[in-house]
């Protein structure tokens, strides 16, 4: 009698940010079919077949528990199945990760693309396979049975195409409706992340560059928060430096009793800054007093600290107006916060032999880069590099961040690259792309319609408050023009104008790959046709209207009704809904919000095709319950996409 087999399959550490757990190696499994062996008895052949069968049966049991780790992520669930198959197909090839991708052709929904790569590794090793197609056939044949797969086929040079089961798809979507969209969230291995974004300079106006940093950073923070990561939203404001001597001295001169000066008394903070800068450049005596004021401020003299704090507070009030309109929350930890830590950091780096003297300054040389990273200027002062190194050290040691993300314009790419490489030389960060790690998220320029940097007619930087108010006012005017002023309350008009106006500005930015420049155009971003926030918000409102007009209680339908995906357009919509989790995973991994925008726009287009098809009639059809559930699932996923993008959905138009 054969002894029952017990197969233990401990998971290995994940190879990347959102990867699934990998099965351990099966050293005792034969290949299928095996290379020509010594003659076997019939009994040994039976044992061999039972080993393979036991592996497949056990893998299903193991994966049933592991599916909870990637619920909603179809690609990850398929990868688990193909990992078992790959272990059986090529047991002597270690660490073969399944290459799963959504199909772009007509042969299936997903495909496994391992055959060609495996063939290049095993040919010449006495393999029984005769090319990639044979490898693909073996991978297909060794797949464990699963309710999620309807059929498989092999095409071309070994691509294994998978058609998902309609019943499994429908069941997965309905479970999401019952359990909530959060069950489809990615599960990264990092627990804590810092997202450093917005970061305006005190006493200077927030401009469109800060708008991009604020919008992109907020979306990245939201995606990580959805993925159950604790996110420290950091506003690294420029609140410490030589310009404060100039500002403080000008404040003393203009307001001898400066503590009585209010935001109204100072007036436009940008104008105040310009006036002080003009005085600094033209009056040597004032310049000398301003330089002394810096020394007194940094020395901790009380009067200067109070003046500095007042200027910072007036700036914060201005910043808050922008953040309030955008619905963005940050915790300020500016340059001044890290200033006390800089000397200790520089001393530690010096003891490690990283800091060298160069032309009177103290620098760190970075391999492959011609210029050094200056950490102490020739006059003994600190700079951005000093502060950023101190901040990075603090975030790693004190805040225990495993991923630190900096959102600034692409022009600062080299600076952060040098800071990160210095941190790796110091041993703060591991080599390669392992965690903990730091990432720079660069973005391009906002252009005007003339193709140049976006400015007002008098070449001044655009005030963000004015820009956002303009977007809202245009949105409100469009609603009134459509007669909503007579149908809706003033509160409904205002809230919808907020959602559409601010949402339009955000989406116009986020839908572009962040590395590219984009042209700011109110008419385009507020258009209700095409790939705009207005179109998407209206599409969501229409879905809500369909559900309202049915008169049915959707919450009751979720638990008592049944979702089916019989028609092709129903199935196409269901498949796209199921790709939500992997899309968010991709957007997080690559730090690209436009991936979510592309998905959201495609979802609205696919829904429109489904709903406009007479064969997919919703209200009054014999499949009304199922199609209402499909409508609700679409609305739920759209709302979560809006939430990730920082856009407030609207429910009626």
| CATH number of the domain where residue 123 is located | 3.30.1360.70
Mean pLDDT of the 546-553 span: 96
Q: What is the pLDDT of residue 120?
A: 84
Tell me the pLDDT band of 26, cut-offs 50, 70 and 90. very low
Distance of CA 352 to the CA centre of its chain: 36
Residues comprising the chain, all counted: 653
Last residue in a domain, options 164, 192, 216: 164
Residue 42, CA distances (Å) to 47, 51, 53, 93, 248 in order: 9, 14, 17, 28, 93
3-state secondary structure 224-248: HHHCCCEEEEEECCECCCCHHHHHH
3's torsion region: left (phi>0), alpha (psi -120 to 50) or beta? beta
Total H helices, total E strands in the chain: 25, 14
Judge whether 576 lies within some domain. yes
**Same domain as 155, residue 255:** no
- CA angle 158/22/122 to nearest 5° reads 40
**b/e code 6-40 from CB counts within 10 Å (16+ = b):** ebebeeeeeeebbbbbbbeebeebbbbeeeeeeee
Judge whether 580 lies within some domain. yes
Judge whether 353 lies within some domain. no
Q: Which two tokens stand for residue 165?
A: 């089961």
Q: How many CB atoms lie within 10 A of CB 402?
A: 18
Full domain range(s) for residue 288:
242-321
Residues ≥6 apart with Cβ < 8 Å to 298: 339
**Same domain as 251, residue 136:** no
The answer to whether the CB of 163 falls within 8 A of the CB of 152 is: yes
Last residue in a domain, options 301, 321, 341: 321
The answer to whether the CB of 386 falls within 8 A of the CB of 343 is: no
Q: What percent of the chain has pLDDT over 90?
A: 70
Q: What is the pLDDT of residue 228?
A: 96
**Overall number of domains in the chain:** 3
Tell me the pLDDT band of 265, cut-offs 50, 70 and 90. low
What ranges in 193-301 are assigned the alpha helix state H?
A: 208-226, 243-254, 263-266, 269-282, 284-298
Q: What is the pLDDT of residue 121?
A: 84
Answer yes or no: is pLDDT of 65 > 90: no
Task: Taking the CA atoms of 347, 353, 357 and 358 in sequence, report the sign of the dihedral they define.
Answer: negative
Mean pLDDT of the 247-257 span: 87
Judge whether 176 lies within some domain. no
Alpha-carbon span 578 to 565, nearest angstrom:
13
Placement of tokens 């044949």 in the chain: 141
What residues form DSSP beta bridges with 446?
518
| CATH number of the domain where residue 535 is located | 1.10.730.10
Distance of CA 212 to the CA centre of its chain: 14
**Same domain as 260, residue 145:** no
Judge whether 471 lies within some domain. yes
Tell me the pLDDT band of 136, cut-offs 50, 70 and 90. very high
Preceding amide of 615 cis, omega within 30:
no
Task: State the chain's mean pLDDT as an integer.
Answer: 86
Judge whether 650 lies within some domain. no
pTM, rounded to two decimals: 0.87
**Same domain as 249, residue 116:** no
**Same domain as 482, residue 574:** yes
**Same domain as 621, residue 474:** yes
Residues ≥6 apart with Cβ < 8 Å to 344: none
Last residue in a domain, options 277, 297, 321: 321
327's torsion region: left (phi>0), alpha (psi -120 to 50) or beta? left
Distance of CA 287 to the CA centre of its chain: 45
**Same domain as 616, residue 498:** yes
Alpha-carbon span 397 to 87, nearest angstrom:
40
**b/e code 47-79 from CB counts within 10 Å (16+ = b):** ebeebeeebbebbeebbeebbebbbbbbbbbbb
**pLDDT tens for residues 318-338?**
899 999 999 999 999 999 999
The answer to whether the CB of 515 falls within 8 A of the CB of 593 is: no
Alpha-carbon span 271 to 260, nearest angstrom:
19
Answer yes or no: is pLDDT of 40 > 50: no
Residue 154, CA distances (Å) to 133, 197, 261, 435 in order: 7, 47, 76, 37
Judge whether 187 lies within some domain. no
**Same domain as 261, residue 149:** no
Judge whether 363 lies within some domain. no
């Amino acid at each position: 009698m054969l002894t029952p087999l017990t197969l233990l399959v401990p998971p290995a550490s994940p190879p990347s940010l959102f990867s699934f757990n990998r099965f351990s190696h099966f050293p005792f499994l034969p290949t299928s079919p095996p290379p020509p062996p010594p003659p076997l008895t019939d009994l040994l052949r039976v044992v061999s077949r039972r080993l393979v069968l036991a592996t497949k049966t056990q893998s299903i049991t193991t994966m049933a528990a592991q599916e909870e780790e990637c619920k909603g992520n179809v690609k990850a669930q398929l990868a688990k199945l193909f990992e078992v198959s790959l272990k059986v197909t090529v047991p002597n090839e270690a660490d073969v990760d399944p290459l799963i991708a959504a199909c772009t052709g007509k042969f299936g929904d997903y495909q496994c693309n391992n055959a060609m790569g495996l063939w290049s590794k095993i040919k010449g090793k006495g393999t029984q396979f005769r090319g990639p197609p044979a490898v693909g056939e073996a991978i297909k044949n060794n797949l464990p049975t699963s309710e999620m797969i309807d059929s498989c086929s092999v095409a071309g040079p070994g691509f294994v195409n998978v058609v998902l089961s309609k019943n499994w798809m429908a069941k997965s979507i309905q479970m999401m409706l019952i359990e909530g969209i959060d069950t489809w969230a990615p599960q990264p291995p990092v627990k804590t992340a810092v997202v450093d974004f917005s970061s305006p300079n005190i006493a200077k106006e927030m401009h469109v560059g800060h708008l991009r940093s604020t919008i992109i950073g907020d979306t990245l923070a939201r995606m990580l928060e959805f993925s159950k990561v604790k996110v420290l939203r950091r506003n690294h404001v420029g609140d410490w430096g030589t310009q404060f001597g100039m500002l403080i001295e000008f404040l003393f001169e203009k307001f001898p009793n400066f503590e009585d000066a209010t935001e109204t008394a100072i007036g436009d903070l940008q104008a105040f800054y310009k006036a002080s800068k003009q005085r600094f450049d033209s009056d040597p005596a004032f310049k000398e007093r301003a330089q002394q004021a810096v020394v007194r401020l940094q020395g901790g003299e009380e009067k200067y600290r109070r003046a500095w704090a007042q200027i910072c507070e007036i700036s914060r009030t201005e910043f808050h107006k922008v953040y309030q309109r955008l619905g963005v929350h940050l915790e300020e930890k500016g340059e001044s916060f890290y200033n006390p830590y800089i000397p200790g950091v520089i001393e530690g780096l010096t003891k490690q032999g990283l800091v060298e003297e160069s032309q009177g300054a103290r620098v760190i040389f970075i391999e492959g880069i011609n210029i050094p990273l200056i950490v102490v200027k020739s006059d003994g002062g600190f700079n951005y590099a000093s502060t950023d190194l101190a901040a990075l050290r603090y975030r790693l040691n004190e805040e225990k961040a495993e991923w630190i993300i900096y959102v600034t314009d692409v022009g600062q790419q080299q600076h952060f690259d040098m800071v990160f490489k210095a941190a790796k030389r110091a041993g703060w960060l591991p080599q390669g792309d392992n965690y903990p790690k730091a990432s720079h998220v660069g973005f391009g320029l906002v252009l005007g319609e003339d193709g140049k940097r976006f400015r007002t007619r008098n070449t001044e930087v655009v005030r963000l408050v004015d820009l956002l108010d303009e977007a809202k006012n245009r949105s409100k005017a469009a609603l009134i023009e459509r007669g909503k002023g007579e149908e809706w309350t003033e509160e409904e008009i205002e809230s919808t104008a907020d959602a559409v106006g601010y949402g339009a500005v955000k989406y116009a930015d986020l839908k572009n790959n962040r590395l590219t420049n984009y042209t700011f155009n109110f008419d385009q971003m507020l258009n209700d046709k095409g790939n705009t926030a207005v179109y998407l918000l209206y599409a969501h409102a229409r879905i809500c209207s369909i559900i309202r007009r049915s008169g049915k209680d959707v919450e009751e339908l979720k638990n008592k009704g049944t979702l089916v995906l019989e028609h092709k357009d129903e199935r196409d919509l269901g498949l796209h809904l199921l790709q939500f989790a992997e899309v968010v995973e991709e957007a997080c991994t690559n730090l690209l919000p436009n991936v979510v925008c592309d998905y959201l726009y495609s979802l609205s287009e696919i829904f429109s095709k489904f709903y406009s098809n007479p064969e997919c009639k919703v209200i009054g059809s014999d499949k009304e319950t199922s199609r209402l559930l499909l409508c609700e699932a679409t609305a739920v996923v759209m709302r979560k996409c809006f939430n990730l993008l920082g856009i407030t959905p609207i429910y009626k138009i």
